[in-house]
Chain A
Amino acid sequence: MSKHCGEKVQNRRELLTTVLRYATLGTLGAIGGGIFAKRRRLVQDGICINSGICKGCGIFEQCGLPQALSAKQILTRMDDERK
């Protein structure tokens, strides 16, 4: 009898683990899907997807690093297009 109860508990625990596993897998899938969809939307809207590189940098306006110069070019072009 006790073995039977033990098996039941084991099965219940395994069931819970399986449910949690696939729920987590679903969540990870949703994160992946969300990132893909967002990236597509930003590209379609013509928004610079590299804006994060120099974002928040205090010396961006003065910076002469190639990445910053490239980002400035993109931002200027986007501003011109908006006007």
Chain B
Amino acid sequence: MMRFDNIIIGMALSLILCGVTIGAERFPPPDFVETDHVIPSPTVPGPRQDIYEYIDAVVLLAALGLSSYLVLRRRSRRAIFVLMVFSLLYFGFWRKGCVCSVGAVQNIVLSIFDRDYTVPITVAVFFLLPLVFALFFGRVFCAAVCPLGAIQDLVLLRPISVPNWLESGLRLFAYVYLAAAVLFAATGSAFVICRYDPFVAFFRLSGNLNILIIGACLLVISVFIGRPYCRFICPYGVLLRQLSRLSKWRVTITPDECIQCRLCEDSCPFGAIKKPTTDWPTTEYSRSKKRLAILILLLPVLMFLCGWASSGLKTVTSRMHATVRLAERIYLEDTGKVEGTTDASLAFRATGKEQKELYADASNIRAEFKLGGWFFGGFVGLVIGLKLIAVSVWRKRTDYEAGRAGCLACGRCFQYCPKEHERLKKIKEARAKY
């Protein structure tokens, strides 16, 4: 196993070094002799030739197909691990974390809301393919294809379990993050998922220091808590979670019938194994029924209150939009409340446009944020309400099961099942025979 690890690390280092060596600019930058303007070094990778983008899409499709096979058919943790390392090297370090399915959500949203904006086909493929696979095979994308998940999984050395109430509460953040990302993308303000991607700085070997620190902290947390970004922050994970509930095929801990040996009980570092349940006491049952009825009635009220509160924050949230920030800056400069100018305000004055026009644009954007705030708050209220309702709903479970939504299909639980060992033994014997 040690030799196997060394080979993987050696391959990783070689690929990274190759990537750095062959990185070259396709177009020479212009020379600003007259103005002495120094071109700042970009922190994002430049555009690539179309053919490479199509190759990425093909690699994604192949990786998803292979991941589905390894998780559901071959049931091999080692093979899943190798594919995960490949994905980290290819989609992470080689492709520098872009295009990624997580960030593609924003491009798709902007494409829906902006009449003149569209996304490259590759971005659409990166957004849609993992969702389609989740509909049929569960979260095979998280298992071995997502580089963000892979980098966290590699450092998971001393997993500790997170209590259910804390896990459920922290997971709410991912929904809020998704709603915020959709709001800011729909209004054309910012792509917050990309801006605050904690691991992309590692992939690109450059980036904002604050984000680098956040990424490093998340990696340190990942040593003890399995994939914290995937479980509590990832906005794309929210979509995969919900779609994998509908999956046609899913991960099963045992290849046969569960014998309730309890060996797998604590094997999942992500807390995705659901234990068998006992019958609810009659008193608890009737109390929960009443609580459920009250919560269902309160759901619209909660949605309205959250929507109202969010729409009231339009002044703050709209500042994410460059036009609103510029309008505020111009206003402050014109009224003498601030001294000096910024690059943006200078550029605006150079265009000769009227302030009135700018203020009108900013006002329209604020109105969009007010409307968007209603949807954002309504969604958050709906999620909170549904989470409370879920507590009052009784689900009967007779065996140990991998939770449909929470299971990241990493395959760690397979080797804990004695039935799995029996299956592997039978396969080995059959192979020896033929």
- Taking the closest CB of chain B, its distance from the CB of A2, in whole angstroms, is 12
Are the CB atoms of B30 and A59 closer together than 8 Å? no
Are the CB atoms of A21 and B135 closer together than 8 Å? yes
Cα distance, A66 to B46, chains bound together (Å): 10
Are the CB atoms of A56 and B343 closer together than 8 Å? no
Given A24-B243, A52-B110, A66-B30: A59 in contact with B344 (beta carbons within 8 A) = yes
Are the CB atoms of A35 and B118 closer together than 8 Å? yes
Whether B214 is near chain A, meaning CB under 8 Å from some CB there, is no
Whether B171 is near chain A, meaning CB under 8 Å from some CB there, is no
Task: Please encode chain A, from 65 to 83, with 1 for each CB lying within 8 Å of some chain B CB and 0 for all others.
Answer: 1110100000000000000
- Size class of B's contact patch? 35 or more
Whether A57 is near chain B, meaning CB under 8 Å from some CB there, is yes
Residues of A within 8 A of B42 (CB): 65
Cα distance, A34 to B128, chains bound together (Å): 12
Whether B383 is near chain A, meaning CB under 8 Å from some CB there, is no
Are the CB atoms of A61 and B124 closer together than 8 Å? no
Cα distance, A52 to B37, chains bound together (Å): 25
Are the CB atoms of B111 and A28 closer together than 8 Å? no
Are the CB atoms of B117 and A59 closer together than 8 Å? no
Task: Please encode chain B, from 115 to 152, with 1 for each CB lying within 8 Å of some chain A CB and 0 for all others.
Answer: 01111010010001001100110000000000000000
Residues of A within 8 A of B (CB): 17, 20-21, 24-25, 28, 31-32, 34-36, 38-39, 42, 47, 49, 51-52, 55-62, 64-67, 69
In order of increasing CB-CB distance, the 9 nearest A-B pairs are A58-B344, A21-B246, A56-B322, A39-B118, A61-B347, A52-B117, A59-B343, A35-B124, A38-B118
Assuming A17-B245, A21-B246, A62-B346, what are 5 further A-B pairs, CB within 8 angstroms?
A: A24-B243, A28-B132, A32-B124, A58-B344, A58-B348
6 contacts between A and B (CB under 8 A): A28-B128, A35-B111, A56-B321, A58-B322, A64-B30, A66-B29
